[in-house]
Structure 1
Amino acid sequence: MTDDERQIRALVERWAAAVHAGDMKGVLADHADDIVMFDVPPPHDGVRGLAAYRETWPPFFEWQAQGAVFDLVSLDVTAGDDVAYAHALLHCGTPNDLAAQPENRLRLTLGLRKEEGRWTVAHEHHSFPDTSGSDA
């Protein structure tokens, strides 16, 4: 594992811990001002910019405070000199959600760029697999 891959792994682990703790400052750390995020809840065309990204978290923190979990299960990182990507799987749901679908994982993909020698998240995408059984 390269030093850049270690740095990015540590960044993602810090971010996941901050999400788990409901720590807004930690969630926003290491994110680019012009971040683009596609998330599970609307808006379906994503959010753009750090201020809009910040606005998406309070409802999630409220839901999580009611007993939901957000735990990193696996993480893979690939880093070049100035761009990188990471993909991860997480347990994300209430105890009832996880009991009903124990194999379900939140999928996370991050696009990162190195700015002034520091890695920042420029793109973030969260999704769940479609388990509805439809072929649509």
Structure 2
Amino acid sequence: MTDDEAQIRALIERWLAAARAGDLAGVLADHTDDIVMFDVPPPYEGARGIDAYRATWPPFFAALARGGSFDLLSLDVTAGADVAYAHALLRCGSARELAEQPENRLRLTVGLRKERGRWQVAHEHHSFSDPG
């Protein structure tokens, strides 16, 4: 694993920990001002910009506070000199949802840019696999 790949892995693990803790500042910490995120819930055209991205988190924090899971199962990182991407699988949902569909996985794809020597998330895409 390269140093850049290790840095990106650590960034994603910090983001996950911040999300589980309901720490909005931690969730936003390594994201660009022009982030684009495509998420499972609306808006389906995506959240564009850090303010729109910020606004998507309170409902998710509330779901996690009610006992939801957001657990990393796998993470792969590919890094170039100034751009990188990562993809991951997570267990995400309420205890009931996970009991009803135990094989369902949240898919996460992240695009990153290295700016002033620091990796930042410029794109996130979340989707659910079809357990069918």
**Shorter-normalised TM range:** over 0.9
1:81-100 to 2 correspondences below 5 Å: 81-100=81-100
How many positions carry a matched residue from both structures? 132
Aligned-residue CA RMSD (Å) = 0.8
1:15 pairs with 2:5: no
Distance in 2 (alpha carbons) for counterparts of 1:124 and 1:113: 12
Distance in 1 (alpha carbons) for counterparts of 2:72 and 2:22: 15
Cα displacement (A) at 1:100: 1.0
Could you report, residue by residue, the CA deviation over 1:69-100 in whole angstroms, capped at 9, with x for unpaired residues? 11111100000000000000111001111111
Cα displacement (A) at 1:118: 0.2
TM-score with structure 2 setting the length:
0.97
Could you report, residue by residue, the CA deviation over 1:13-60 in whole angstroms, capped at 9, with x for unpaired residues? 000111111110110010000000000000100010001000000011
TM superposition outliers: structure 1 runs of 4+ over 3 Å: none
TM-score with structure 1 setting the length:
0.95
Give the SS at the match of 2:85. strand
Distance in 1 (alpha carbons) for counterparts of 2:26 and 2:91: 19
1:48-63 to 2 correspondences below 5 Å: 48-63=48-63
Distance in 1 (alpha carbons) for counterparts of 2:11 and 2:129: 25
1:2 pairs with 2:5: no
1:1-136 to 2 correspondences below 5 Å: 1-131=1-131
Cα displacement (A) at 1:125: 0.4
Give the SS at the match of 1:67. coil
Distance in 1 (alpha carbons) for counterparts of 2:6 and 2:67: 31
Give the SS at the match of 1:54. helix
Cα displacement (A) at 1:130: 3.3
